[in-house]
Amino acid sequence: MKATRPLSVVHLAARTHVVREQADNPANEFETINVIATERLATSAAAHGVKRFVFLSSIKVNGETTAKGGQFHSEDIPAPEDEYGRSKLEAERRLRDIAEKSGMEFVIVRPPLVYGPGVKANFRSLIALCDTSLPLPFYNLSSKRSLVFLGNLIDLLQTCLRHDDAPGNIILVSDGEAVSVCQLIRSLREALGRDSRLVPFPRFLLRYAAVLTNNVSGLTKLTQPLEVNIAQTRQILGWRPPVDFLDALQVTVDAYHDEKNR
Asked if 84 is an active-site residue, the reply is: yes
Average of pLDDT values for 37-47? 96
CA distance 33 to 54: 17
Cα–Cα distance list, 145 to 68, 126, 183, 198, 229 (Å):
11, 15, 10, 18, 11
218-239 pLDDT per residue, tens? 555 667 899 999 999 999 999 9
- Per-residue pLDDT, averaged over 10-25, amounts to 74
DSSP state of 72: B
Report the alpha-carbon distance of residue 111 to residue 58 in Å, rounded: 5
pLDDT of 105 above 80: yes
Bridge partners (DSSP) of residue 115 are 149
Mean pLDDT of 51-63: 97
As a whole number, the mean pLDDT across the chain is 87
Q: What is the arithmetic mean of pLDDT over 52-61?
A: 97
Whose CA is closest to 52, among 3, 116, 109, 2?
109
Among residues 178, 169, 164, 165, which one has the least CA distance to residue 72? 178
Check if the beta carbon of residue 153 is closer than 8 Å to that of residue 230. no
Question: Using an 8 Å Cβ cutoff, are 74 and 170 in contact?
Answer: yes
Closest CA to 137 of 208, 192, 191, 225: 208
- How many residues are there in the chain? 262
Which is catalytic among the residues 84, 115, 139, 208?
A: 84
Do residues 171 and 237 lie in contact, with contact meaning Cβ atoms separated by under 8 Å?
A: yes
Contact 106, 99 (CB under 8 A): yes
How is residue 226 annotated by DSSP?
A: B
β-bridge partners, 52: 8, 105
Structural domains of the chain in order of their starting residue, each with its CATH number: 8-260 (3.40.50.720)
Stretch 254-259: mean pLDDT, rounded?
A: 90
Q: Is 113 helix (H, G, I), strand (E, B) or coil?
A: strand
- pLDDT, one tens digit per residue, over 128-187 is 989 988 888 888 788 899 999 999 999 999 999 999 999 999 999 999 989 998 899 999
Integer angstrom CA distances of residue 121 from 9, 17, 128, 167, 218? 27, 10, 11, 32, 10
**Rounded mean pLDDT of 74-85?**
93
